[in-house]
Chains A and B, each alone.
Chain A
Amino acid sequence: MSGIPTQILEALASASSLPLLSSEAFPNIEPLNVRSALDSLSSREMVVYDTIEREEAELTDEGEGIVKEGSHEAKVYDAVCKSIEGLKISELAKVVGAASAKVGQGKAFKEGWIKKDGDRLVKSVPAIKDVTRDNLNIIKSTHAHPNATVLADLKKRKLVVTVKRISFKINKGPKFATQVIKEETDLTADMLYSGEWKTKSFKPYNFKALGAPAITGALHPLMKVRHEFRQIFFEMGFEEMPTNRFVESGFWNFDTLFVPQQHPARDLQDTFYISDPPLADRPRDDATGEPLTEYWDNVREVHENGKYGSLGYRYPWKEEESLRLVLRTHTTAISANMLHKLAKNPVAAKYFSIDRVFRNETVDATHLAEFHQVEGVIADYSLTLGDLIGFMQTFFAKMGVHDLRFKPAYNPYTEPSMEIFGYHSGLGKWVEIGNSGMFRPEMLEAMGLPKGMRVHGWGLSLERPTMIRYGVSNIRELLGHKVDLGFVKTNAAVRF
């Protein structure tokens, strides 16, 4: 620490009156350098200062020339005076210079100082006062002019420019001293060892700035929301389903769910079919490998001719269609598999899953060919629709959605079917937050589940609540390779 800070401190110490004005005390030091010295001193509370910004007028090179030699018009007048016979107009440029001749002649005429006499110029007043030069002299010494009109005129004539000047009003601070004491920025192990911390002066911390950025990894926001959902399911006694199977047969994805083979959901427009491998095997028991012949026949019959008190869809059910492979369009294919297994020992069960599903959609801001389905299934004896509604209330309350209402809907594998609407206080309206229903007897009884056992199912997408939670309007900013890593890293933790 030397030079300017010391100069400032010394000037403050010896000043007869305070505050000190930097433009007067240190006219030869660049304001920028003064500021950095003041910043450094004020961070130690040795000085306090205010910045003063003001406009100053300065002469241009041409203006400086006029101060030295007189205005162009005065030069012309002088030249005319000096020539006793009058000055030939053609000679003027030679005598006073081209620049002065051009401007000065006109101005001298305008002022009435000279007149024409044939091809000569002669003076028309005995003496003149060079006002331009006088005004410029005022500006040169005071950097200003009392008459704004004059100043504006001189600026227009490019004799004067105005510039911004920064100066500082400086006063002593609470820790003023003439010597700059080195202040410590940090407490170190050495200081603890030496005991220096007791005597050292510490620089005040800037409490207005952010700390050093944490070097960190991050979990994906969708996975954070998924975690919250899983917690809710675990809290409510649900077992996670083995949804690690993307490829399903038409049988498990549709037929078991009593979705007829001509249903629009099975169109090429909506479902991804698999070209290789070509076809699934007929269903078999995962554990024993035994063919599920009875189940297969039940499914066929309930579609084709009706069974279990149902008329069925009454169409020729085709094995080829059932064995076509698809990318699962919902995790309900896995639920069907789980419920079929449950039929061996039909006791109360609660299952859930949160996993990827596939739809052959045209991609836009709210649709991707892949998204995550959150699905829950409750199987028990004597379940009621009121149970489903009541359960949904508790489930969604854990997500912070307290007002629910239910709208009748249609779904081929649930009857009754209900769309779940929640009141979104932020949006100020009811929004659809999920779908639910009781699985149809045609689906459950074909599996061998007893008639008294009823099964509730419900589902929603993981993306939609996540988009609402993080204020994302384009699903492609949430899932897929176009997601911004900055977005992943800076998203707050989720707590429903």
Chain B
Amino acid sequence: MPTVTVDKAGLYEALGQEYTTDEFDELCFEFGIELDEDTTLTERPIVNGKQEPPQLKIEIPANRYDMLCHEGISLMLNIFRGKASVPNWRVVAPPDGEIHQITVHPEVQKIRPYVSGAVLRNIKFTQERYDSFIALQDKLHQNLCRQRTLVSMGTHDLDTIKGPFTYEALPPERIVFKPLNQSVVMNGHELMQFYENDKNLGRYLHIIRDSPVYPVIYDSNRTVCSLPPIINSHHSRITLDTRNVFIEVTATDKTKVEIVTSILVAMFSVYCEEQFTVEPVKIISPHNHESREVPNLSPRSTTAEVCYINECCGLNLTPDEICNLLTKMAYAAKPSASDPDLLDIEVPVTRADVLHQCDIMEDLAIAYGYNSLPRTFPGKSGTVARPLPINKLSDIVREESAMAGWTEVMPLILCSHDENFAWLNRKDDGNTAVKLANPKTAEYQVVRTSLLPGILKTIRENRKHALPLKVFECSDVAFKDETAERKSRNERHFAAAWCGKTSGFEVVHGLLDRLMLMLSQGFTEAGKLEKEVGYWIEETHEEMYFPGRAANIWIRSKDGKESVIGSFGILHPTVLEKFELPYPVSALEFNLEVFL
């Protein structure tokens, strides 16, 4: 969730009311934003001899891009409290009647195909408004624009450039300009090098760096306006004195390019001489059928069903009551003339997150108050409780182990490749373990295929305790499985380990016997009692174990099938060394799923 920092006094002034922190917190709670911090009582930094004024840090849910600046927060809260109505955002022709134009060259298809734009005429900036304008662009870039990969904005002083504009894609060496706040002219290649280590812009370079052509916006005099999505030109920068702002928005996502443009102009047209008016830009883009006039600020007309809203909320409101409540959430709604169960609803241009009538239904519930809704219990249908069989089986084994004096541990499921293979003297055949593509540390490289690495690490971290240590775990491991839709499968394992001054081999063996007894498996000998269901053990030479002190666990199931389900033994001293265990350890691990 993005956090927006706003000036406390400024916001309360816009709300026309002072709040205590608790009161404002309550208002946020009801609306669905969250007051993260009120800095009034904290130590605020002193900048240029002046202490920073108290601020409110407000967390905004990820769908409310229209509330990422203090203009949006105060507007929506004022509408919610019935103190304001939705502005009449509208597109008006420029004073000279000449509509601004951006002509799109087909080459941009290769790198960043879409562009949109708008002009804010006769705007009046102050330092606060200017800062908020920049901050909103930054918040949009971080969130909705996905770090500028999907969309990015450039804003320019229209009086320093001259339309019509072109949106082109050119080889980097042919794009030459002075970037914002820099004193030297550079071409596209040089610019990449220049900003390589820049803390702010460095992280966006990858979006276009390796492309043979870079996107660029020119005015009619071939002045570079911007190199999206990296930086604007110094030439057309906006200042506090700027009165007319040309906004260009470029994108790889054609839906979001319009959303971003609308949000930006809707929020800041409040500072235009004629409030809430925006001048259009004509996009000429015949090659991809994207020629159009932008932005479209008219509300979107849709409908919602009265019975759906009432049913979902557990309410019984009249259409008029619903319409009134929806006004608090910035909708214009009225009962439909054609169908008594329908409402005609106008969704403001700022609410691009409204996709379905369920979004309107939610807003109705918020306007009504979640905590005022009648609280009922869903008692219409009976259902039958049931545990997952493998979990029930696991619980039996876990409880029997604890009763037998063993302590349950819960290590992590992810581990390093070495811990899962080399440290256990096991080789990776490449067909066993699921491997992670992007772990942040070497601790998480594979999904474990054995419970032992985690158990041995737990023993290592608990060496300070009196010996012997007797621990167990009953949980899932995962294996690659080409036959499965997700190419892998979990397997429920049981594992236990003893660590003491002596090997404890027979103790671990005894635990196996005990668990088999509890699982109704009789002990038998290899080859004997051929028709009986049961288990037996046979010496194994697995390298994980000390030679001559290890056995495979065999099961003969009801259908006469014989299989190895696991093994136990004294761990090889080289394994102990890898896990930094100075005492002998005997370990047991088997697949529990055969007992389902």
Contacts and interface: CB of A to CB of B under 8 A. Distances in A.
A, B bound? yes
Interface of A: 215-220, 222-223, 230, 233-249, 252, 262, 264, 268, 272-284, 286, 306, 308-315, 325, 327, 347-350, 356, 358, 360, 362-363, 368-370, 378, 380-391, 393-394, 405-410, 415-418, 438, 440-442, 454, 456, 479-486, 488-489
Interface in B413-471: 413-414, 430, 433-441, 444, 447, 454, 457-458, 460-462, 465, 469-471
B505 interface: no
A321 to B, nearest CB: 14
A355 B250 CA distance: 43
B118 interface: no
A317 to B, nearest CB: 12
18 contacts: A217-B408, A223-B398, A237-B383, A237-B384, A245-B489, A247-B486, A308-B356, A312-B355, A348-B380, A348-B381, A360-B439, A384-B313, A386-B314, A386-B374, A415-B359, A482-B461, A485-B462, A488-B409
B385 interface: yes
Given A239-B386, A386-B314, A481-B412, A244 B465 contact: no
Contact of B411 (A243, A249, A417, A481): A481
A311 B314 CA distance: 25
A245 B383 contact: no
Which 6 pairs between the two chains have the least Cβ-Cβ distance? A408-B32, A348-B381, A384-B314, A386-B314, A410-B61, A481-B457
Interface in B338-385: 355-359, 361-362, 365-366, 370-371, 373-378, 380-385
Which of A358, A387, A438, A481 counts the most B-chain CB atoms under 10 A from its CB?
A481
B313 A415 contact: no
B489 to A, nearest CB: 7
Contact of B440 (A237, A273, A360, A409): A360
B480 interface: yes
B178 interface: no
A23 B476 CA distance: 71
B374 A416 contact: no
Interface stretch (B155-163, B206-214, B399-407): B399-407
B490 A441 contact: no
B558 interface: no
A277 B447 CA distance: 12
B146 interface: yes
B487 interface: yes
Interface stretch (B71-79, B387-395, B516-524): B387-395
A481 B370 contact: no
Nearest to A281: B485
B458 A276 contact: no
Interface in B170-214: none
A134 B410 CA distance: 77
Given A272-B444, A350-B383, A407-B370, A246 B408 contact: no
Interface of B: 1, 29-32, 34, 61-64, 143, 146, 149-150, 253-256, 311-314, 355-359, 361-362, 365-366, 370-371, 373-378, 380-388, 390-391, 398-399, 401-414, 430, 433-441, 444, 447, 454, 457-458, 460-462, 465, 469-471, 476, 478, 480, 482, 485-490, 492
A226 B294 CA distance: 55
Nearest to A220: B408
Given A246-B490, A247-B486, A407-B32, A273 B436 contact: yes
B253 to A, nearest CB: 6
Contact of A217 (B388, B403, B458, B488): B403
Contact of A480 (B256, B411, B436, B492): B411
B375 A222 contact: no
A406 B31 CA distance: 11
B46 to A, nearest CB: 31
Contact of A277 (B365, B460, B470, B482): B482
Contacts of B30: 408
Given A237-B385, A415-B358, A384 B376 contact: yes
A246 B411 contact: no
Contact of B409 (A240, A349, A380, A483): A483
Contact of A246 (B365, B403, B447): B447
A279 B64 CA distance: 34
B308 to A, nearest CB: 9
Contact of A275 (B370, B376, B436): B436
Given A234-B387, A311-B356, A382-B311, A246 B476 contact: yes
B435 A276 contact: yes
A283 B486 CA distance: 9
A387 B377 contact: yes
Nearest to B457: A481
Given A380-B380, A410-B64, A485-B407, A390 B476 contact: no
Contact of B375 (A216, A244, A308, A393): A393
A173 B482 CA distance: 84
A488 B407 contact: yes
B385 A480 contact: no
B488 A216 contact: no
Nearest to B407: A218
Given A281-B487, A385-B314, 5 more contacts: A245-B489, A276-B435, A408-B32, A410-B61, A416-B366
Nearest to A380: B381
Contact of B434 (A220, A276, A306): A276
Contacts of B380: 348, 380-382
A276 B402 contact: no
Nearest to B484: A281
Given A216-B405, A310-B356, A382-B311, A481 B385 contact: no
